[in-house]
A and B are shown apart, each in its own frame.
Chain A
Amino acid sequence: MKRHSGISPFFLEMVFVLLFLSLSCAVLLRLFSAARTTAERSAKLNAAMVLAQSAAEKVQSAQTPAEVALLFRSDRHGRKGGSDLYTAFCDADGNPAARGAAFRVEKAVRASPAAPGTMLEAKITVFSGDETLFALSTKKYCPDRESSP
């Protein structure tokens, strides 16, 4: 007499399907996670570059070293290693935000005499938390006003 095992083929199939699906989902989750991490890193670096370039262009627009302080007047000002340090906080869209926002932009500006004018050297660093996202150095030569035509 033929005896049935008691497990229907449908039930057996469902067990295998769920097992395979869970394994596939585990692998696919890693795939989606990697894609999301890469996209976030890319977006963060892009935003950091925009913020750094914006600050660099502000330095470039200064006609005199004194103008730098005016251009960054909304930033927190301090001194670090002989340079003026201007710190600003920005949200993910690059808008000014309160302390502890998504990005921190530090501008270390040093004005050194470079006869017959002044050389402005700025190092702009964008942080996300403690991580450095992007750093940019720029220079601007400000000729002595009296010698300019």
Chain B
Amino acid sequence: MKIKMPNPCVGIASVLMVFLVLCLTLFGLLSLSSARSDWGLTRKNRESVLNCYAADARAQQVLRQIDGKLRQAGPAGNARLPELFDGRTVENVKLSVGSSREISFTVPAGRFQQLEVSVRPGSSGRGYRVTRYRFAASAAWDGDDRRLNVWQGESSREGRAQP
């Protein structure tokens, strides 16, 4: 009796096709995931940029108000800085006058940043000089309050004291 042997090529094409489709699916999903992550980051960056420039525009308006008040007060205004500015609100921004006789204020720029500005009025009582104009974190890092689950080493697992 003649036994017909199966064609050895049958099945290889299916296996190759499955492998190819799996690889292509994996690469496709990875590239889509990467592109979407990039897009998310770009959107966050966009929000951050818009917030920064909005805060900057507001700070410029506050500077204009400060300049106007200093000009109105004249040379005598330099001696009355706390009275003129300390605790006053301009453009919804609270001003303060420190011991260094600088007028300071902060403008929020988004959830995590704020624009810190300080100006020093001129000695003649007219105009000002900007001494600080920077973006800073609006809240201090509170990581110290959180308990982090980190590996303490073999010795601590066994209950021995760390060297």
Q: Which residue of B lies closest to A143 (CB)?
A: B67
A92 within 8 A of B: no
Please tell me which stretch of B7-15, B92-100, B105-113, B150-158 contacts chain A, meaning at least 4 of its Cβ atoms lie within 8 angstroms of it.
B7-15
**Contact indicator per residue, chain A 30-52, by CB within 8 Å of chain B (1) or not (0):** 01101110110110011001001
A149→B122 contact, CB < 8 A: yes
How would residues 112 to 149 of chain A score, 1 for a CB under 8 Å from any chain B CB and 0 otherwise?
A: 00111101000000000000001011111101100111
- Do most interface residues of chain A lie in helix, strand or loop, or is the interface mixed? helix
Set of chain A residues within 8 Å of B41, measured between Cβ atoms: 42
In the complex, whether A98 has a CB less than 8 A from a CB of chain B is no
Contact (Cβ within 8 A) A139 B61: yes
CB pair B28 A28 closer than 8 Å: yes
Identify the interface centre among A35, A46, A52, A115: most chain B CB within 10 Å of its CB.
A35
- B137 an interface residue at 8 Å Cβ cutoff? no
Task: Tell whether, in the assembled complex, residue B122 and residue A136 are in contact, meaning their CB atoms are under 8 Å apart.
Answer: no
Q: How many residues of B contact A (CB 8 A)?
A: 46
> Contacts of A14 on B, CB cut-off 8 Å?
13
Q: Hey, which chain A residues are within 8 Å of B21, CB to CB?
A: 20-21, 24, 28
Task: Provide the main secondary structure of the chain B interface.
Answer: helix
Give the chain A neighbours of B38 by CB distance below 8 A. 38-39, 42
Interface 1/0 per residue, B51-71 and A, CB below 8 Å: 001101100110110011001
Q: A8-B7, A138-B57, A139-B57 are in contact. Are A42 and B35 (CB under 8 A)?
A: yes
Q: In the complex the two chains form, is B9's CB within 8 Å of A10's CB?
A: yes
CA distance in complex: A147, B121 (Å): 11
Contact (Cβ within 8 A) A24 B68: no
Contact yes or no, B57 A49, CB < 8 A: no
Across the interface, A136 reaches (CB within 8 A) one of B45, B53, B124, B126, namely B53
Q: Check B34 for interface membership: any CB of A closer than 8 A.
A: yes
A49-B67 contact in complex given A20-B17, A34-B32, C-beta closer than 8 Å: no
In the complex, how many angstroms separate the beta carbon of A14 from the nearest chain B beta carbon? 6
Beyond A117-B67, A141-B67, 16 extra complex contacts between A and B, CB < 8 Å: A32-B28, A38-B32, A38-B35, A38-B36, A39-B31, A39-B35, A39-B38, A39-B39, A45-B46, A53-B49, A116-B71, A134-B46, A139-B57, A144-B127, A149-B121, A149-B128
